[in-house]
Chains A and B, each alone.
Chain A
């Protein structure tokens, strides 16, 4: 039985997020046609995460690395309690927010209108958005385009506006899922600074990326996922070093480090 509780729990170790042997599967239901003609009676089950355990304490930044389809985004959706896992225990202590770009953006409406729309969907009151408007406008730095429909924006302008709205949130637990690669170099620098700022105001952060360089800069600990399982977790440098070696030649690395890859993998 999975027990999911978002109520705060008293814990003197300062645990913000904890996963205990969490497993999550997707079922692919077979259609009636398959049942009748293909004799494939069983629904296919795909385990997106298996036996994942970790804790994030107050002040910690956990990086999650892994190849495409390794379960990184699934893990972030479990943290925000959108996905219910089939197995294991999860504890989340505080308000979690996934930093997402362009939430609810409407191409037909103006940038300013979209700030209100996106902001309200992220849980702000209109009065709070009004207060942040100047800050958001300054940071996006798109000038008069603010009052033009978003469909007239270049992709860079669009992501700059999206980024300035998204980073106005102040959650306890911040989840970043591949959001750092936006805009030109000047904006990238600004974005990186703001990111670090945002991280320091949150109590802890989970950062998902497949860029080891970024994680080395932002995280204390890294968890490496492969096919839904944890291969390695620990101090950033050592895990990232192993991951890079693995990426150069996955087959060879698997053979040489069989303790991390049991046969069932």
Chain B
């Protein structure tokens, strides 16, 4: 097997440099992603708003009308969970495929491969912000200085999905079944995350063993969605420790992921 001679520079710094040096390519790919989704449709930009709203209506119908559950303001409660999950799941799905679907560009453009992983999370974060702004406007009495906290959450979202992409895109290159497994894991994750229900439902339940509750609390989407609801529905700053821990774990996993990606990605073009 081949070996690449590398400098001793820290992997995070080098990745930051790669991103900075290729910022124009990242921007143009961001632009392409944003523009192409609307350029082919009649409603164009309006889809950015309709997408989350239509999803909300579907889940509202299922939970409120069919199952007769959920409390007052349930539509906004669900919307917070849905837009967050949507951004997370789409971003991870696209990142998993990022190297395979861009193989043509990888062969022609000679950009560092990590660039193809940074674009989808940023694009999805853009759509995420639109969803959050809709909720904010809808529930404007809860707005305030704490609302700016959404930027912290959006950054965390980008970092989390980028980190997942570092591992998953490589696995996908070697074993094509990864995409399928990720797809099912995300479907399952939808119900394991407090999107349509409150996490208290799990914690207060008598039927669920404590061990399962502990495992449940390890899901980063639990503190994340709770934080979104704190900011936009209840109108106060989110609880710092869980978000801080999620940040720390993500950073650590990202550092490892970058090393892993640097070592494995040179072999990927040949695998595809």
Chain A interface residues toward B at CB < 8 A: 1-5, 7, 24, 26, 77, 80-86, 96-98, 100, 103-104, 106, 108-109, 113, 116-117, 120-126, 149
> Could you jot down 21 A-B contacts, CB within 8 Å?
A77-B269, A81-B110, A83-B270, A96-B110, A98-B110, A100-B108, A103-B108, A104-B29, A106-B35, A109-B36, A113-B31, A117-B28, A117-B31, A117-B32, A120-B25, A121-B25, A121-B28, A123-B22, A125-B24, A126-B27, A149-B39
What are the residues of chain A within 8 A of B31 when measuring CB–CB?
A: 113, 117
Chain B contacts for A104, CB-based, 8 A: 28-29, 32, 105, 109
- Is the C-beta of B212 less than 8 angstroms from some C-beta in chain A? no
Shortest B72–chain A CB gap in Å is 43
Contact A5 B5 (CB under 8 A): yes
Bound Cα distance from A81 to B106, whole angstroms? 11
Given A104-B32, A108-B35, A121-B109, residue A84 in contact with residue B25 (CB < 8 A): no
In the complex, the answer to whether B40 meets A108 with C-beta atoms within 8 Å is yes
Q: Is the interface of B mostly helix, strand, loop or mixed?
A: helix
Min CB gap B236→A, angstroms: 42
Least Cβ–Cβ distance between A96 and chain B, in angstroms? 8
Bound form: Cα–Cα A6–B31 in Å: 31
Cβ contacts under 8 Å, B107 to chain A: 77, 80, 82, 98
Q: Quick one: which of B28, B35, B106, B111 has the most chain A CB within 10 A?
A: B28
Known A103-B105, A103-B109, A121-B25; contact A84-B2, beta-carbon cutoff 8 A:
yes
Q: In chain B, residues 1-27, which have Cβ atoms closer than 8 Å to a Cβ of chain A?
A: 1-5, 22, 24-25, 27
Nearest to B39 among chain A residues (CB) is A108
Cβ of B244 within 8 Å of any chain A Cβ, yes or no, is no
- Looking across the interface, which residue of chain B has its beta carbon closest to that of A99? B108
Nearest CB in chain A: distance from B267 CB, A: 6
> How far, in Å, is B37 (CB) from chain A's closest CB?
10
Closest Cβ of chain B: how far from A237's Cβ, in Å?
32
**Do residues A120 and B24 form an inter-chain contact, with CB atoms below 8 A?**
yes
Q: Which residue of B lies closest to A85 (CB)?
A: B2
Q: Is B141 an interface residue (CB 8 A)?
A: no
In Å, the complex CA distance between A172 and B20 comes to 23
- Tell me, rounded to whole Å, the shortest Cβ–Cβ distance linking B4 to chain A: 6
Minimum distance in angstroms from A177 CB to a CB of chain B: 10
Min CB distance A165 to B, Å, is: 12
Establish whether residues B108 and A86, one from each chain, have CB atoms under 8 Å apart when the complex forms.
no
Contact B5 A26 (CB under 8 A): no
If A80-B110, A103-B105 touch, does A109 touch B32 (CB 8 Å cutoff)?
yes
Kindly identify, within residues 97 to 133 of chain B, every residue whose CB is under 8 Å from any CB belonging to chain A. 105-111
